[in-house]
Structure formats: C-alpha cells, structure tokens
C-alpha cells in the first residue's frame, strides 16, 4: 500500500523548530535517519529512503541550521551534544517510544550519544562513516595496541577542501563546490557520477530555499562527547559499516568502533567512501534491513 510522505515541524527547544518527514506505513517499525554535519535531512537519497520505507516507518529531519529547520546559531549558540538531544526530541514529538537509528558521519556520533544516554529509546543502531566516542585503544589482529587519538587522521585533501573559504559566487558556483566536495568524500574506488550529486544538491537547495552554506556545526562546542564507559556497556544491537574508500574516518576506525561499543558487529560495503552514491545504496539498505530484522527477532525471542 502506498503511504505518502508526511511533513511536520516539531519544537526541540525554546525557539528551535525542526523539519521532519515520515515515510512508509505508520505501523511499521520506526527508523530514524540522522545526517552528518551541515547536511539537511533530504541529503538522504530518495531512492534509499523509499527502499527502507518498504519495511520501516522512516523518519528523517533537518538538524538545526540546515534545510528548513531553525537557523539561529549566532543568536542562540548550542553544543554538538544538543544535536543528539534533538534526535530524542524528534522521537518525543512524534510519540515514538523506541526506534531503530542509522547515522552517517556526525550523525553516527549523535547516534552513539543517544545509545549511551538514552539506550531505552533505541531498538538498533547502524553507524556509518564515523569514529568512536571512546578513549579505549584499538587492538589490531596481531595484538598491537594503538591509542584512539593516534588512529589515522582525515585525509589531507579533505582537510584542504574544508579549509577553503566559501565565497558567494551564485547558485551554480555553489553547486560546483558541493559536487567537488562529494567527489573528494566519495573516495577513489567507484566511478564518480557528477550529475547524480548535482541533482542531489539542487534538491537540497530547493528544499532549504537558499544555496548559502551554514558553518554552524563546525563552530559548535564539541566538548563533553566522550562516552567510553556507557558505550562499552551497550546492549543495543549495533552495526558498523566498513567503507574501504573512506577518507574521513578510514580503517581501522570502523574496527575500533566495533571493539569499543558493546554488542557491535561489522559489515563491509564494497567501494564505499564518505558518501551515498547509487552503487552503495543497495548493499547498504540490505545491510540495514538485515540488521533491524535480526534485532527485532532477538527482542521477540
């Protein structure tokens, strides 16, 4: 049965409204998608959302200072941990007691914060393209121990791109910049489809009503995010994706994450980098659905 997407604004904090969208059967198991820094909820590809919505009541939303949600960082500064509380506020406002969660990049960190601080709200979690909020070291298969702070850094070409000032030279120039950003983030193992990402970013611009990029998330206070002990005690089923072309949190970051989060397991998505091109969507959707199904079976058993 076809279920049209439902849009709704929710109040996350005084003066903070968040845009949300729900798709799929209302009585299907809820799945909350949590995007990365400075990316609106419509950054989740339509094809991927539709595929997940065949089995789940999928919720995606715009973080503060993205898309159609409140843009007010300069007047009302917040911490990164407040963005995790926003995810809980979305569930509260939509009257969803517990949900499966899937987070990409910063969204994966926010999902870890919810896992650690509100485990009773999470049915399962899928963590993609992110790093562990833990000080525990990584232990390689040969027994070598590496401190968490000494794991591989972000690739230099990514840092160089992030360091460039963003000039307002019009819509098409901004789309050029964003497409090049996705080219770098996508890694070097899959052909890059420039047209696909240009269309994606054009939809993001139409959704937001502006092409101006926000820097709020990069300026937000990121202190107080470590959750070493509660993540180690975690009992919620967690899936960690391994992206072999990942330039932001390259291996062994996923392996480290799976070690320090209780009950976590790994799945490799061939060719994946720090982006969601069509080539990775099918394997990624399959992995998420297998994980949520297994988590449901475990709860039922």
Integer Cα distance of 81 and 99 in angstroms: 19
* Residues with Cβ within 8 Å of residue 144, at least 6 apart in sequence: none
Number of residues that make up the chain: 301
Q: In angstroms, how far is CA 52 from the centroid of its own chain?
A: 15
What per-residue confidence (pLDDT) applies to 72?
A: 85
What per-residue confidence (pLDDT) applies to 1?
A: 67
| Residue 271: Cβ within 10 Å count | 18
Integer Cα distance of 99 and 87 in angstroms: 11
- Compute the C-alpha angle 40/279/61, nearest 5°: 15
What per-residue confidence (pLDDT) applies to 192?
A: 98
Phi, psi of 195 (to 5 degrees): -65, -40
Q: Under a CB-based contact definition with an 8 Å cutoff, are residues 125 and 103 in contact?
A: yes
Integer Cα distance of 239 and 101 in angstroms: 10
**Paired tokens of 248:** 């932001």
What are the angstrom distances between the C-alpha of 230 and each of 88, 109, 123, 248, 266?
17, 14, 16, 25, 20
**Paired tokens of 262:** 């209780």
Sorted by where each begins, the domain ranges of the chain are: 6-150+214-300
What per-residue confidence (pLDDT) applies to 44?
A: 98
Secondary structure of residue 279 in the 3-state scheme: helix
Residue whose C-alpha is closest to residue 275's, from 48, 14, 24: 48
What per-residue confidence (pLDDT) applies to 213?
A: 86
CATH 3.40.50.1820 fits 6-150+214-300, yes or no: yes
**Paired tokens of 7:** 């849009």
**Paired tokens of 162:** 């992030």
Query: Which of 43-67 are b and which e, b meaning 16 or more Cβ less than 10 Å from the residue's Cβ?
Result: bbbeebbebbbebbbbbbbbbbbbb
Integer Cα distance of 214 and 299 in angstroms: 41
- Averaged over successive runs of 10 residues, the pLDDT of the chain (301 residues) comes to 88 96 97 97 97 98 98 94 98 98 98 98 98 98 97 97 92 97 98 98 98 93 98 98 98 98 97 98 98 95 79
Question: Residue 57 is inside which H or E element, if any?
Answer: strand 57-61
What per-residue confidence (pLDDT) applies to 149?
A: 96
Q: What is the DSSP string of 124-183?
A: EEEEES---S--PPEE-TTS-EE-GGGS----HHHHHHHHS------HHHHHHHHHHHHH
- Compute the C-alpha angle 85/87/88, nearest 5°: 65
């Amino acid at each position: 049965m076809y279920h049209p997407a439902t849009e709704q604004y929710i109040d996350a904090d005084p003066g903070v409204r968040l845009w949300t969208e729900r798709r799929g059967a209302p009585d299907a198991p809820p799945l909350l998608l949590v995007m990365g820094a400075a990316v609106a909820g419509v950054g989740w590809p339509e094809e991927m959302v539709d595929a997940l919505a065949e089995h789940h009541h999928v919720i995606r939303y715009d973080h503060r200072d993205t898309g159609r949600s409140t843009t007010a960082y300069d007047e009302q500064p917040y911490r990164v941990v407040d963005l995790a509380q926003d995810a809980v506020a979305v569930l509260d406002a939509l009257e969803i007691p517990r949900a499966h969660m899937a987070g990409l990049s910063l969204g994966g960190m926010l999902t870890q914060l919810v896992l650690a601080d509100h485990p009773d709200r999470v049915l399962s979690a899928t963590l993609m393209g992110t790093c562990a909020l833990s000080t525990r070291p990584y232990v390689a298969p040969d027994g070598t121990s590496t401190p968490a702070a000494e794991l591989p850094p972000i690739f230099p070409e990514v840092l160089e791109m992030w360091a460039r000032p963003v000039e307002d030279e019009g819509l098409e120039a901004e789309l050029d910049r964003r497409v090049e950003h996705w080219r770098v983030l996508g890694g070097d193992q899959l052909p890059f489809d420039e047209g696909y990402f240009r269309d994606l970013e054009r939809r993001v611009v139409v959704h937001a009503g502006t092409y101006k990029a926000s820097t709020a998330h990069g300026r937000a206070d990121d202190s107080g995010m470590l959750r070493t002990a509660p993540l180690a005690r975690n009992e919620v089923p967690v899936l960690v994706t391994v992206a072999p072309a990942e330039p932001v949190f390259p291996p062994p970051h996923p392996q480290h994450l799976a070690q320090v989060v209780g009950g976590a397991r790994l799945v490799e998505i061939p060719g994946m980098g720090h982006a969601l091109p069509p080539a990775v969507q099918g394997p990624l959707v399959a992995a998420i659905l297998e994980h949520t199904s297994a988590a449901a079976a475990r709860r039922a058993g």
